[in-house]
Amino acid sequence: MELNYLGIICTINIFNKVWTMNYKYLSIALALGSTMVWAQTAEIGTWAGFRKGAASFTFDDGAPSHVTDAGPMFKKYGYKATFNLVVNWNPNWSGFQGLADEGHEIASHSNTHGQNMSGEEASSKKAIEGKIKQKYGIITVAYPNCNVPNESAVKQNYIVGRICNGSWKGMGDEMGKDGPSNWAQVPATMTGAEGQLKSTNDFTGRMQKVIQSNGWAAFLTHGFQGKQNGNANYSPTDINAIDGALKWAQQNDKDIWVAPMGHVAMYLKERKASKAEVSSSGGNITVKLTHNIADNISKYDYPLSLRVKYDGSKAEVKQGDAKLESKIDGGYVYFDAVPNAGDIVISGEGGGPTPTSSSATEPTSSANPTSSATEASSSSRSHHRSSSSIEPGLSSATEALPMHTIDASHVVAYVDNNGYITVQNAQGMSITVFNSLGSVVRTTKGIGMLQKVYSGAKGMYVVKVGNRAWSMNIK
């Protein structure tokens, strides 16, 4: 739940009846004019970075081209995908380990790819975990031939069981902000020759749809037309269609969150289970962000994006010893924090905290579409806490940059009229965008004469291309 008043049971007296109320009825109590005192709560973004919608790209059958073609394509845009492997097809384990090391999710697609994978739920997970090392282990599974196996075995071993098109089972192809009705039947839309999504416009149409609905779309791709696909020869997809989709996503990054299926699922489950209680004293605001999800499958420590009402002009946000990236916008301070990882303390100068007022309306990500300072690509997000130790300030950000030897004398970088950090003449070169805290918010490669590389929150950024760096201000 995004907005809650947990722990506060209001008892009010109306018409000589005593009503015991929980937060769900708070708005009724307000309408009746009762007076209550309650704690402000922090709002949790529907999706990471308070983006409006989420999209997950999943790839089945462990094609050689997933390593040689999909990996570099996603790297170009700084996005991560999910790769579902079939154990007995002996995929390129070291190649997929390389993708895992870059922050992609490796997942199960059974041992044998039989008609139904019942009986292979636990064993395929174990087998892949013996080959692939990644932070959360193997936490999602895609069913071969779209057939749902033993659901309870799925739920004992995975946080997501993926089917194919929801519309093939009388459901929608996209999910709403609350996710699937059954986590053992998470829909993903088939792409390619036999699928519904063939062109870039097909993909971007689905992403626009979930931006409108605050929902979540997943895509299911096998191999690519004209590439080395091994056993992934069903319904080949034009890789340029996905390239165009990722390019569009990057240009709309403030609205669409592209992340692996398991990471989006973790965020969603944590968001729905977490409470974020706020208290204030001595000019500091303390947020307790907690949930009690059992961590028998996944640790459920994916960072959630929060905002707290704040009328100061500066803020420092810390969780334990870690300094969190934060920004102030529109009367809120925004930051990402890990649930159950200790108190979050907001301190600052200026107006100080405003902990006594709060809206009873449920926040939506569209409430503040411009806020995305706490955004980061999933790779930088996963390194959030370690990178956050860099001292703030542009000079330290610049000093933290790795040395490059590529000549960038012809490169031009600027903020365009629409607030995009834009780079010219950087074809083939690595581009890195740092925020004012020195954390990486975007890594990509130059792909065209003129490239929009980042549209984030207002504030100062450093763009590094080759051996040159620019500081610039998104207004």
Contacting positions for Zn ion (CB under 5 A): 60-61, 144
User: What are the Cα distances from residue 271, in Å, to 5, 25, 92, 359?
Assistant: 15, 21, 35, 19
Nearer to Zn ion, 60 or 120 (CB): 60
For the chain, the maximum distance between any two Cα atoms, rounded to a whole number of angstroms, is 80
Least spacing, CB of residue 59 vs Zn ion, in Å: 10
What is the DSSP annotation of 107-166?
EE--SS--S--TT-HHHHHHHHHTT---TT-S-EEE-GGG----HHHHHHH-SEEE-S-G
Nearer to Zn ion, 107 or 429 (CB): 107
What's the rounded Cα separation, in Å, for the pair 270 and 46? 11
Backbone dihedral angles phi then psi of residue 103, each to the nearest 5 degrees:
105, 0
* Nearest Cα residue to 303 out of 368, 347, 259: 259
What's the rounded Cα separation, in Å, for the pair 337 and 276? 11
Least spacing, CB of residue 224 vs Zn ion, in Å: 15
* Nearest Cα residue to 90 out of 71, 112, 107: 112
Nearer to Zn ion, 149 or 179 (CB): 149
Least spacing, CB of residue 110 vs Zn ion, in Å: 8
What's the rounded Cα separation, in Å, for the pair 58 and 108? 11
Least spacing, CB of residue 236 vs Zn ion, in Å: 13
Residues across the chain: 475
What's the rounded Cα separation, in Å, for the pair 309 and 355? 7
Q: Which two tokens stand for residue 413?
A: 């970088």
Nearer to Zn ion, 43 or 60 (CB): 60
Least spacing, CB of residue 443 vs Zn ion, in Å: 31
Nearer to Zn ion, 168 or 414 (CB): 168
Residue 352 Ramachandran class (φ > 0 left, ψ -120 to 50 alpha, else beta): left
Nearer to Zn ion, 97 or 231 (CB): 231
Least spacing, CB of residue 193 vs Zn ion, in Å: 15
Look at the block and give the residue holding tokens 């997950």: 56
Least spacing, CB of residue 163 vs Zn ion, in Å: 12
Closest residue to Zn ion using C-beta atoms: 60
Nearer to Zn ion, 82 or 319 (CB): 82
Q: Which two tokens stand for residue 284?
A: 């500091």
Residues with Cβ within 8 Å of 469's Cβ and at least 6 positions away in sequence, in order, are 398, 401, 462, 463
Nearer to Zn ion, 60 or 270 (CB): 60
Least spacing, CB of residue 229 vs Zn ion, in Å: 11
Least spacing, CB of residue 144 vs Zn ion, in Å: 5
What's the rounded Cα separation, in Å, for the pair 5 and 42? 10
Nearer to Zn ion, 53 or 161 (CB): 161
Residue 275's DSSP bridge partners are: 290
